[in-house]
Amino acid sequence: MSKYYITTPIYYPSGRLHIGNAYTTVAADAVARFRRIMGDEVFFLTGTDEHAQKIQRKAAEAGKSPKQYVDEIVDGIVELWRVLNISYDKFIRTTDDYHVDAVQKIFTRLHEQGDIYKSEYEGWYCTPCEAFWTETQLDGGKVCPDCGRPVEQAAEESYFFRMSRYQERLIAHIESHPEFIQPASRRNEMLSFIKSGLEDLCVSRTTFDWGIQVPFDEKHVVYVWLDALTNYINALGYPENTAVYQKFWPADVHLVGKDIVRFHTVIWPTILMALDAPLPKQVFAHGWLLLDGGKMSKSRGNVVDPVILAEKYGVDAVRYYVLREVAFGADGNFSNELMIQRINSDLANDLGNLVSRTVAMAEKYFGGTVAASGAAAAPDDDLKALAMETDGSSSDAINKLLLSNALADIWRFISRTNKYIDETTPWILAGDDSQRPRLAQVIYNLCESIRLIAAMIQPFMPDTADKIHARTGTDDIGRTWNDGGEFTVSKGPALFPRIDLEKEIAELERLTV
């Protein structure tokens, strides 16, 4: 049995999360579930990143203390993950005592060994991103390279992490570990960024106090990334050499959005080098879910709140949609209309109809129980072959975190199974008594295909997989085709009721004015 440690970024509790935010965590959940099914010992970590300066500002605006403010929002995030069926093993809050304690110990250690020193910071500062930028990074402009908003000159006494010291080691590591940054396009981007020269990193601030105190210099609080990134080891008990830390570190994959790759592939590995700890095996950057080609925000006609979407269309429809729509490395497009179209075509038509037609035929022709008869014919081998090929290709795709590809593969098999019904024409076989054994074999093959489809979609759509298993009277999640046996089916409501697109769009317009 091997171990598998997967993390999501820890989220800023600065407002309600939207469907784009949910993408990272749903993706990590699908991978974690798949690995568990495959027999790995999985540790799946998520949490919240609570010491951002903008949180202090928002709390003040809301007339609350920062802790009061984040507590309420974190409750909402935990609830969102419950609704979306997120099977995390641990939820870390950067305000948790053990994390605060660990960050202080790490800061002190790095200071004592000369990796953190006190100096004065002068530079261009982007307040919303909480990032200092160098002249070169601004490239002549006076706007933040990340968000495009104006930057301002700022100077203050700060502690610095000697990141520059690790530049060559980091380059060597990235060059000798092609799998470290994925996809490869991000890797090239990061390599040229690092080669342009790493500066030391500001790791403390004195102008606000919502943060972890520097233990030996009380007017300083630890400044974001040293606090945020170390969550990945602190959650395992670091700096104590706990059994959990020993077992799970280094992480197998940090799953992150493309906007935070730089922090995870430059700052994080250099901190770990300074701590003499192993580097994560992989940082995987996924694309974004965009709304009308831009960032998610409130928009007329589009509901982006995942809780409302899950209530309206079901959790699994939401999970399916985001995972299918964001392809490897690229951005995906979100709109309620696209989502409804996918629900109608992929879920209601392709998958839902396959299950309901098969169950209905098994009931009509065999009173609900159908056994393999051995009466084979030409299309059977093709169906079986594609079933096994799909298990292999979709598993490979998940192992490479190509979740959209995995779903596309599974849906190709679903279409193939639907086509099998048209090829074998069970309703014609049913009119001829001598064809009874063949009819039984056809319906058996359909049930067996559906059983395998349920097994393959389980990591992505766990509730739907359970429902399908109940309809086909089996809980067998084995992924190899069984030639013998029987199924006892039972009817149920449509897995994914068809949505009237026009009516629904009108309703969404009303909801979002």
Give φ, ψ of 127 to 5 degrees: -65, -45
Q: How far apart are the first and last CA of the chain?
A: 53
Q: Which of 45, 84, 256, 406 binds ligand MSP (CB under 6 A)?
A: 256
Q: Identify which of residues 250 and 437 has a Cβ nearer to ligand MSP in the complex.
A: 250
Residue 76 engages ligand MSP in binding (rule: CB under 6 A):
no
> Where are the strands (E) in 327-463, listed by range?
332-334, 369-371
The tokens for 201 are 């990193």
Q: Which stretch binds ligand MSP (CB under 6 A): 100-108, 256-264, 456-464, 474-482?
A: 256-264
Closest CB to ligand MSP among 232 and 487?
A: 232
Question: Is residue 302 a contact point for ligand MSP (CB under 6 A)?
Answer: no
Does 444 sit near ligand MSP (CB under 6 A)? Answer: no
Distances (CA, A) of 385 to 49, 378, 398, 481: 47, 12, 20, 9
CA–CA distance, 373 with 364 (Å, rounded to integer): 18
From 24, 46, 335, 441, residue interacting with ligand MSP (rule: CB under 6 A): 24
Among 4, 23, 249, 321, which residue sits at the site for ligand MSP (rule: CB under 6 A)?
Answer: 23
106 scored as a contact of ligand MSP (CB under 6 A): no
Strand 3-11 and strand 41-48: the pairing is parallel
Choose one: 16-24, 188-196, 340-348, 485-493; the region binding ligand MSP (CB under 6 A).
16-24
362 binds ligand MSP (CB under 6 A): no
Report the residue count for the chain: 513
Q: Are 288 and 326 in contact (CB under 8 A)?
A: yes
Q: Interface with ligand MSP includes 257 (CB under 6 A)?
A: yes
What's the gap between Cα 249 and its chain centre?
A: 20
Q: Is 21 in the site for ligand MSP (CB under 6 A)?
A: yes
Number of shown-chain residues binding ligand MSP (CB under 6 A): 19
Q: How far apart are alpha carbons 272 and 281 in whole angstroms?
A: 12
| Ramachandran angles phi, psi of 172, nearest 5° | -60, -40
Any contact of residue 306 with ligand MSP (CB under 6 A)?
no
Rounded to the nearest 5°, which phi and psi values hold at 102? -65, -40
Of the listed pieces 21-29, 98-106, 209-217, 353-361, which binds ligand MSP according to CB under 6 A? 21-29
Kindly provide the b/e burial profile for residues 141-172, where b requires at least 16 CB atoms within 10 angstroms of the residue's own CB: eeebeeeeeebeeeeeebbbbbbebbbeebee
Q: Sign of dihedral through CA atoms 258, 233, 462, 311?
A: negative
Q: Closest CB to ligand MSP among 77 and 456?
A: 77
Decide if 45 contacts 5 (C-beta within 8 A): yes
235 binds ligand MSP (CB under 6 A): no
With CB under 6 A as the contact rule, the residue among 86, 170, 260, 452 that binds ligand MSP is 260
Stretch that binds ligand MSP, among 26-34, 251-259, 477-485, 491-499 (CB under 6 A): 251-259
Q: How far is the CB of 94 from ligand MSP (least distance, A)?
A: 9
Q: Which residues lie near ligand MSP (CB under 6 A)?
A: 9-12, 20-21, 23-24, 49, 228-229, 231, 256-257, 259-260, 288-289, 296
